[in-house]
Amino acid sequence: MMDLHCHTFASDGQYTATEIVAMAKSIGLTALSITDHDTIDALDEGAQAAKQANIQFIPGIEINALGKNVHVLGYNVDYKSDTALQICENNKQLRQKRAELIFAFLKQRAIHLTWKDIDKYALHKIYARPHFARAMLEHKYVGSIKEAFDKYLDTPEFRQIKEPRPTVEEAIVMIKQMQGIPVLAHPMQQGKAYAELDTFIIPLKKLGLAGIECYHSENTPQDTELSLALAQKHSLLITGGSDFHGEKVKPDIKLGSGINNNLDFHDDKLLALLCQPHH
């Protein structure tokens, strides 16, 4: 079994890379990719821990692009290159600007948080909504992480914020510059109909999009079916992952098995392709 989508403490997850590898080992995963948002900070630690645990490790990243849940996963990125470091530094600065906009949005709604409140959860300063949600919960503005999202951080009003982010095309190019393999994450979460996604993918494939994440914890069986149809139609790789963040961030999602064991993904051919050494 493999899990090609999870997040550590370096972005908005709850656990360190070492802890996630230990979890992967305990549930019998044979391959793992850490795909933190906009950062490669956990990959070195993850690679070392995976080597000791005898788990095949694919260094990854997830770049958040403009648009609702438009994320691009990058697999087998050359995370030690200056290019990768520079791209992540630029994206980190964009996240800082975005965080300032989120503070202002919450302040207008009588939620007064400080950088100190957020930094407690975002040690690597890759600011993301779960950090705000956890701080809101701690300061009793909400009763759960879900409430923070439902009432504030995942609303039509919140989506009006003009977020400083790369376009999906730029995200694909960034991953290619990092020598990585670009894969469109959880396409059904974009809220687009099949025909719209079908059209959306055509120019992205020309730019170098190589795959679609068809298996994902939050997919319905129909979502998976439609994702597979898209991948097959456009001759794209089929990948899968839980999107595990930890129970304090995404309570329903378990590493390797998703929600209520709805994830059971393994593909040796894909693994061989994702693990090819860089030339």
Angle, helices 194-207/221-233, rounded to nearest 10 degrees:
40
Helix%, strand%, coil% for the chain, nearest 5: 45, 15, 40
Residue 279 pLDDT > 80, yes or no? no
Residue 105 pLDDT > 90, yes or no? yes
Confidence of residue 164 (pLDDT cuts 50, 70, 90): confident
Structural domain includes residue 157: no
So what's the pLDDT on residue 125? 85
| Mean pLDDT (whole number) for 5-32 | 95
Give CA–CA dist 5/88, Å, rounded: 18
Angle, helices 129-138/82-107, rounded to nearest 10 degrees:
40
- The proportion of the chain whose per-residue pLDDT surpasses 90, expressed as a percent, equals 82
Structural domain includes residue 48: yes
Structural domain includes residue 67: yes
Give CA–CA dist 188/213, Å, rounded: 10
Sign of the CA dihedral 212, 213, 214, 219? negative
Structural domain includes residue 18: yes
Burial of residue 278, with CB atoms counted within 10 A of its CB: 0-12 exposed, 13-18 middle, 19 or more buried: exposed
**Tokens representing residue 86 in the block:** 């520079």
pLDDT tens digit string along 220-273? 999 999 999 999 999 999 999 999 999 888 889 999 998 988 888 899 999 999
Residue with tokens 């996963």: 73
For residue 193, give its domain range: 2-88+164-274
| Mean pLDDT (whole number) for 145-164 | 92
**Tokens representing residue 128 in the block:** 């993301």
Confidence of residue 67 (pLDDT cuts 50, 70, 90): confident
Residue 278 pLDDT > 80, yes or no? no
Structural domain includes residue 107: no
Structural domain includes residue 144: no
Structural domain includes residue 43: yes
Number of domains in the chain: 1
Contacts of residue 268, defined as CB under 8 A and 6 or more positions apart, other chains included, come to: none
Structural domain includes residue 259: yes
44, HSE (Cβ side, Cα atoms, 13 Å): 5
Residue 189 pLDDT > 90, yes or no? no
Mean pLDDT score of the chain, rounded to an integer?
Answer: 93
Residue 201 pLDDT > 80, yes or no? yes
Angle, helices 168-177/194-207, rounded to nearest 10 degrees:
40
Higher pLDDT residue, 121 or 60?
60
Give CA–CA dist 45/17, Å, rounded: 6
Angle, helices 168-177/82-107, rounded to nearest 10 degrees:
150
pLDDT tens digit string along 206-220? 999 999 999 999 999
If one counts every other C-beta atom within 10 angstroms of the C-beta of residue 80, the result is 12
| CATH number of the structural domain spanning residue 65 | 3.20.20.140
pLDDT tens digit string along 21-49? 999 999 999 999 999 999 999 999 999 99
Q: Tell which phi-psi region holds residue 28, choosing left (phi > 0), alpha (psi between -120 and 50) or beta.
A: left
Contacts of residue 227, defined as CB under 8 A and 6 or more positions apart, other chains included, come to: 187, 188, 212, 213, 214, 215, 216, 219
